[in-house]
């Protein structure tokens, strides 16, 4: 088969369409060559050869070698040089290139083909011996490191020593004979350390370098990168072998990198850096300070070193024209690598440039205006989850950070405030208008009101799905969780990290996007939701089919969500209201009551509280649909846990601590998540459901009268597995509805539906749909019950599963399409068979996950519901799914 594709001289065998086999680099080199741009001729070995390499015990097949050698004869013909020739030697670079860019993860070898003889020829025919010996030492250094495995620091030390000995500051200060001496030292150390000499045969060098690039596919760096970016190992890397061009050929030569637009602001201006008399790695390595490409940027930076525009105006003009050409060819901002050899420009790489979200928005909107792309393409250009960056304040990138610890970037955005160690202090501070960061070892449901009151949350324990992380993300509050390098000393009210001790009231800043914890106050950039953002979202909204609702438990959530464009509430978890302020006491009274009469007495007190919450929620949503879930969690979640707490609560309630402990023990469950919760509570204690239904309908009446926009409450019964469960609870709701409507003399339309969160419910959806007027997929529990995996304990083994390749993605983060997804499909199909116009939606964390949203579009759900701060992400993802 064809393993090798050549390019150069205005033609190419491959093109961008073959990116899977040629890799990003190889494909774009081919594309540029075919466009007639100045690309040094070369060849690309397809990425399938990488798999073959590993299958044959890390050796190169003869057939492959033959094709490479054939390609090289073509290059020789095109360049008029010969590989290994001692008068006109052809030198090569050997480069990696995978399907998606993995910057800096794999290896490159430059100046290949040099040896003790060809170096002389190179010196001779270039007329520059310094250049030839500089190239040779570079080659030995790279080859010794990448192919032979001698740590690059060994070489760097030798070079540093030599420079010190000779009194040189810069690499460019060394003369030909000084480089020649360095080469000698390099060869000696190689032989001494590895017991084998540096290979002189160019063909040995070539096969060694190709093998090393294939091998670098499996280096730990690349493996980690693939894991983080869900890149399959099976893709492999291609290898490009290309004629060297030299940026280190004196003062008329240079090498650089550039973006066709500014990657941080998106402004339409050439943006980049270059170095005179240098080769590839030098620009990134920071050995010398690079110079600006354009004169405007030079003036901006205040540098006195000339720009490329001034220094090499002809090469600059050609480069600028190529930038425009490539932008209109690729219809996207490009990240380019180039080299100028004695005034002649060569293009070495093109790829779509990485950019900040802000830049991505500006570029997309500008390109629509420039007629380069359509509105739909613009919508497709923005990575939905990257919007997170825009919706929160961020730390001004120009400031220096005094980092005192770091943890997981659990909830994006940055926040500054005075340290408090308890939820109560946070609430108190809020009432006094002070800004605080709540610092805890970990958080629990009792801290909710304090979390709400804080600007940000810092915990020293817990992962990305810990209570603090999940709740903070839901509230849109920045959070750093599991900052294990920091210590909370609760007794003395101290936070300690990296030798810095902060006390209560000291100012701290957390960066929930990076996980860093910083001392003191730090300047922030505020989110900007108008302009490009607004325009793009408008395009997205006119494209999508699904509606986007929000999960909102409180009026504050609902308001935030509406400002982000939510079109209703898909999940209101009533129980979260029970943790606020005094309510928890009444709730506990209800739970601890020994009989129905006692429970009803407490419920009577809860009724007006719930009613006023719902009234406010309905008023804010102003006629948009609101789904309210009946009480769901096991009751023990509302009760105190530690002895101290039990005593305190008992005293406050005028109860015996002993009695309280007995009641708590009686409520103990072995497996509460599969225990007495969901509709099971409403069946055991119908008076709870009654009270909630009454609160909902009375609130609907009140809101309808107040706003004149009638709400249609959608009442959702959780954890239904049997139709008879739903029948029972629905009967209670319908009865109360009738009562309230009679009392108010007002007709309220409402729906009763259920969450599909048990496999049995999914399978029996056609039967359940006879009673349910809507389904909402509760994918957190559905994932939990389908896998038989406790979400709260999954953090202990999911990372291991991922490391061992047993699963790629955490199913609690990204929906498991094959299993959980299949159940959703089944339920949607069967439910609609019974009730064709039935509304279907998804709530739960997946409702804000872009890939899961694509799946929802496929299945034909009517809406997705997610936490307020993910609403814009969901709007964009839903639009992309519909395109």
Q: Which residues are catalytic?
A: 467, 843
Question: Are 611 and 699 a contacting pair, CB within 8 Å?
Answer: yes
The β-bridge partners of 789 are none
CA distances (Å), origin 94, targets 42, 183, 580: 10, 21, 64
* CA dist., res. 165 & res. 163, Å (int): 5
Q: To the nearest whole angstrom, how small is the minimum distance from the Cβ of residue 465 to Mg ion?
A: 15
Sign of CA dihedral 437, 441, 442, 447: negative
436 vs 427: CA distance, rounded Å: 9
Query: Least distance in Å: CB of 158 to ligand ADP?
Result: 22
Separation between Cα atoms, residue 645 and residue 636, nearest integer Å: 14
Instruction: Out of 6, 67, 108, 786, point to the residue binding ligand ADP (CB under 6 A).
Output: 108
Stretch that binds Mg ion, among 131-139, 209-217, 779-787, 803-811 (CB under 5 A): 779-787
67, 141, 291, 349: residue in contact with ligand ADP (rule CB under 6 A): 349
- Label residues 247-273 b or e (16+ Cβ within 10 Å = b): bbbbeebbbbbbbbbbbeebebebbbb
Q: Is 411 in the site for ligand ADP (CB under 6 A)?
A: no
User: Among residue numbers 434 through 473, which ones bind Mg ion (CB under 5 A)?
Assistant: none
Selected binder of Mg ion within 26, 413, 778, 850 (CB under 5 A): 778
Span from 241-249, 316-324, 666-674, 754-762 in contact with ligand ADP (CB under 6 A): 241-249
First CA to last CA distance, the chain: 37
Q: Where are the alpha helices (DSSP H) in 278-312?
A: 281-285, 295-301, 308-311
Site string for Mg ion, 344-363 (x = CB under 5 A): -----x--------------
Indicate the residue among 282 and 757 with the shorter CB distance to Mg ion: 757
Neighbours of 195 (CB within 10 A): 7
Number of residues engaging Mg ion in binding (CB under 5 A): 4
Is residue 242 near ligand ADP by the rule CB under 6 A? yes
Please give the Cα distance from 454 to 436 (Å, whole number).
5
CB of 40 to ligand ADP, least distance (A): 5
DSSP β-ladder status, 569-573 and 774-778: unpaired
Count Cβ atoms within 10 A of the Cβ of residue 745 and give its class: 0-12 exposed, 13-18 middle, 19 or more buried.
exposed
| Least distance CB 284 / ligand ADP (angstroms) | 8
Contact 525, 399 (CB under 8 A): no
Q: How far is the CB of 211 from Mg ion (least distance, A)?
A: 20
Closest CB 734 distance from Mg ion, rounded Å: 23
What DSSP line would sit under 559-595, residue for residue?
HHHHHTT--SEEEEEGGGGGGSTTHHHHHHHHHH-SS
Q: Which is nearer to ligand ADP, 94 or 359 (CB)?
A: 94
> How many whole angstroms separate alpha carbon 552 and alpha carbon 569?
6
Which CB, 240 or 865, lies closer to ligand ADP?
Answer: 240
Among ligand ADP, Mg ion, none, residue 852 binds (CB under 5-8 Å by kind) = none
Site string for Mg ion, 367-386 (x = CB under 5 A): --------------------
The binder of ligand ADP chosen from 21, 215, 238, 339 (CB under 6 A): 339
Q: Residue 640, interface with ligand ADP (CB under 6 A)?
A: no
Q: Which is nearer to Mg ion, 242 or 509 (CB)?
A: 242
Binding status of residue 110 toward ligand ADP by CB under 6 A: yes
Q: How far is the CB of 349 from Mg ion (least distance, A)?
A: 5
351 touches ligand ADP (CB under 6 A): no
Pick what 667 binds: Mg ion, ligand ADP, none; C-beta below 5 to 8 Å, kind-dependent: none
CB 104, min distance to Mg ion, A: 8
> Over the range 695-728, which residues count as b (16 or more CB within 10 Å of their CB) and which as e?
bbbbbbbbbbeeeeebbbbbbbbbbbbebebbeb
- Closest by Cα among 451, 358, 361 to 411: 451
User: Which residue of the chain is nearest Mg ion when measured via CB?
Assistant: 781
- Which residues contact residue 754 at a Cβ distance below 8 angstroms, ignoring those fewer than 6 apart? 716, 717, 718, 720, 726, 761, 768, 772, 774, 775, 776
b/e map 443-465, b = 16+ CB within 10 Å? bebbbbbbbbbbbbbbbbbbbbb
Name which position in 8, 26, 40, 263 contacts ligand ADP (CB under 6 A): 40
User: Residue 216: CB partners within 8 Å, gap ≥ 6?
Assistant: 96, 105, 106, 107, 146, 222, 237
Q: Which residues contact 759 (CB under 8 A, 6 or more apart)?
A: 782, 785, 786, 823
Tokens of 459: 């915990």
CB of 332 to ligand ADP, least distance (A): 19
Asked if 586 and 602 touch (Cβ cutoff 8 Å), the reply is: yes
Closest chain position to ligand ADP (CB): 280
The nearest distance, CB 632 to Mg ion, in angstroms, is: 6
95 binds ligand ADP (CB under 6 A): yes
CB closer to ligand ADP out of 40 and 718: 40
Please tell me the distance from the alpha carbon of residue 781 to that of residue 786, in angstroms, as a whole number. Answer: 8
Q: Closest distance between Mg ion and the C-beta of residue 337, in Å? A: 5
Bridge-based pairing state of the strands 456-459 and 713-717: unpaired
Q: Which is nearer to ligand ADP, 250 or 633 (CB)?
A: 250
Within residues 462-481, the interface with ligand ADP by CB under 6 A covers: none
For ligand ADP, which stretch binds (CB under 6 A), given 240-248, 302-310, 588-596, 623-631? 240-248
**293 is a contact residue toward ligand ADP (CB under 6 A):** no
Residue 781: contacted member of Mg ion, ligand ADP, none (CB under 5 to 8 Å, by partner type): Mg ion
DSSP assignment letter at 437: E
Q: Which does 182 bind (CB under 5 to 8 A by kind): Mg ion, ligand ADP, none?
A: none
Told to check if 781 binds Mg ion by CB under 5 A, we report: yes
Closest CA to 443 of 474, 419, 411, 421: 421
Choose the one of Mg ion, ligand ADP, none that binds residue 778, judging by a C-beta under 5 to 8 angstroms depending on kind: Mg ion
Q: Tokens 């009454």 belong to which residue?
A: 694
Closer residue to ligand ADP in complex, CB, 280/821: 280
Looking at 243-251, 531-539, 631-639, 652-660, which segment touches ligand ADP (CB under 6 A)?
Answer: 243-251
3-state secondary structure of 239: strand
Of the ranges 213-221, 237-245, 290-298, 328-336, which one interacts with ligand ADP (CB under 6 A)? 237-245
Based on CB atoms, which residue is closest to ligand ADP, 348 or 414?
A: 348
Whichever of 572 and 664 has its CB closer to Mg ion, that residue is: 572
| Number of Cβ within a 10 Å radius of residue 582 | 9
Pick one of ligand ADP, Mg ion, none as the site partner of residue 242 (Cβ within 5 to 8 A by kind). ligand ADP
Site for Mg ion in 732-761 (CB under 5 A): 757
Cα–Cα dist 539/534, whole Å: 9
Q: Kindly list the residues in this chain that would bind Mg ion in the complex (CB under 5 A).
A: 349, 757, 778, 781
Q: Kindly list the residues in this chain that would bind ligand ADP in the complex (CB under 6 A).
A: 40, 93, 95, 104, 108, 110, 242-245, 255, 280, 337, 339, 348-349
């Amino acid at each position: 088969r064809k393993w090798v594709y050549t390019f150069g001289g205005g033609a190419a065998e491959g093109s961008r369409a073959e990116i899977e086999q040629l890799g990003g680099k190889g494909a774009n080199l081919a594309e540029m060559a075919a466009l007639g741009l100045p690309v040094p001729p070369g060849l690309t070995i397809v990425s399938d050869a990488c798999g073959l390499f590993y299958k044959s015990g890390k050796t190169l097949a003869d057939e492959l070698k033959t094709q490479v050698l054939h390609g090289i004869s073509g290059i020789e013909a095109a360049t008029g040089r010969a590989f290994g020739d001692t008068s006109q030697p052809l030198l090569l670079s050997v480069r990696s290139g995978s399907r998606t860019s993995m910057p800096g993860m794999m290896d490159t070898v430059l100046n290949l083909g040099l040896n003790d003889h060809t170096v002389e020829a190179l010196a001779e025919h270039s007329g520059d011996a310094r250049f030839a010996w500089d190239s040779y030492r570079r080659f030995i250094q790279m080859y010794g490191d990448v192919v032979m495995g001698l740590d690059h620091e060994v070489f760097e030390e030798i070079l540093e020593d030599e420079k010190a000995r000779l009194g040189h500051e810069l690499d460019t200060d060394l003369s030909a004979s000084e480089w020649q001496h360095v080469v000698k030292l390099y060869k000696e150390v190689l032989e001494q350390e590895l017991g084998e000499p540096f290979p002189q045969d160019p063909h040995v060098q070539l096969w060694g370098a190709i093998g090393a690039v294939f091998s670098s596919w499996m280096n730990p760096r690349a493996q980690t990168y693939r894991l983080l970016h869900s890149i399959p190992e099976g893709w492999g890397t291609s290898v490009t072998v290309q004629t060297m061009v030299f940026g280190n050929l004196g003062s008329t030569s240079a090498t650089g990198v550039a973006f066709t637009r500014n990657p941080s602001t998106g402004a339409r201006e050439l943006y980049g850096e270059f170095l005179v008399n240098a080769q590839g790695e030098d620009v990134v390595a920071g050995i010398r300070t690079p110079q600006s490409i354009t004169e405007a940027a030079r003036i901006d930076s205040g540098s006195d070193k000339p720009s490329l525009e001034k220094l090499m105006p002809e090469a600059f003009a050609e480069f600028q024209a190529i930038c425009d050409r490539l932008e209109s060819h690729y219809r996207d901002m490009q990240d380019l690598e180039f080299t100028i050899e004695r005034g002649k420009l060569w293009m070495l790489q093109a790829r779509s440039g990485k950019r900040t979200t802000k830049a991505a928005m500006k570029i997309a909107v500008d390109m629509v205006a420039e007629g380069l792309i359509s509105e739909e393409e613009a919508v497709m250009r923005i990575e939905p989850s990257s919007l997170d960056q825009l919706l929160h304040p961020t730390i001004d990138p120009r400031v220096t950070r005094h980092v005192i610890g770091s943890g997981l970037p659990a909830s994006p955005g940055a926040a500054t405030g005075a340290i408090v160690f308890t939820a109560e202090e946070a609430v108190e501070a809020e009432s006094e208008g002070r800004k605080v960061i709540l610092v805890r070892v970990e958080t629990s449901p009792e801290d909710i009101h304090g979390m709400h009151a804080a600007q940000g949350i810092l915990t020293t324990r817990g992962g990305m799905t810990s209570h603090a992380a999940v709740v903070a993300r839901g509230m849109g509050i920045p959070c750093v969780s599991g900052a294990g390098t920091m210590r909370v000393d609760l007794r003395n009210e101290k936070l300690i990290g990296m030798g810095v001790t902060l006390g209560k009231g000291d100012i701290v800043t957390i960066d929930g996007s990076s996980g860093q914890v910083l001392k003191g106050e730090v300047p922030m950039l505020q989110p900007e939701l108008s302009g490009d953002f607004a325009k793009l979202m408008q395009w997205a909204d006119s494209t999508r089919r699904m509606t986007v609702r929000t999960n909102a438990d409180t009026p504050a959530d609902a308001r935030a969500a509406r400002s982000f464009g939510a079109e209703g509430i898909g999940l209101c978890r009533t129980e979260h209201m029970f943790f606020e302020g005094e309510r928890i006491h009444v709730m506990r009274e209800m739970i601890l009551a020994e009989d129905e009469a006692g429970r009803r007495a407490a419920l009577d007190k809860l009724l007006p509280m719930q009613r006023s919450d719902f009234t406010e929620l309905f008023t804010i949503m102003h006629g948009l649909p609101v789904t309210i879930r009946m009480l769901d969690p096991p009751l023990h979640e509302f009760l105190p846990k530690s002895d101290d707490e039990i005593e305190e609560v008992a005293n406050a309630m005028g109860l015996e601590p002993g009695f309280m402990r007995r009641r708590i023990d009686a409520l103990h469950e072995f497996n509460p998540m599969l225990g007495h919760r969901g509709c099971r509570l409403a069946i055991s204690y119908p008076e709870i459901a009654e009270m909630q239904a009454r609160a909902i309908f009375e609130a609907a009446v009140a809101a309808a009268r107040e706003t004149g926009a009638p709400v249609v409450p959608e009442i959702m019964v959780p954890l239904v597995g049997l139709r008879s469960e739903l029948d029972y609870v629905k009967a209670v709701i319908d009865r109360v509805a009738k009562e309230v409507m009679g009392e108010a003399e007002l007709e309220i339309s409402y729906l009763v539906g259920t969450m599909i969160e048990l496999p049995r419910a999914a399978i029996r959806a056609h039967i359940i749909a006879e009673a349910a007027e809507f389904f909402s997929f509760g994918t957190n529990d559905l994932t939990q019950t389908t896998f038989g995996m406790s979400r709260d304990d999954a953090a202990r083994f999911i990372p291991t599963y991922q490391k061992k390749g047993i699963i790629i993605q955490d199913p609690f983060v990204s929906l498991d399409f094959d299993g959980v997804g299949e159940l959703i499909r089944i339920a949607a199909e069967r439910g609609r068979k019974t009730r064709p116009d039935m509304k279907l939606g998804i709530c739960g964390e997946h409702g804000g996950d872009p890939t899961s949203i694509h799946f929802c579009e496929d299945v034909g759900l009517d809406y997705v519901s997610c936490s307020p701060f993910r609403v814009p992400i969901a709007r964009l993802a839903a639009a992309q799914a519909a395109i």
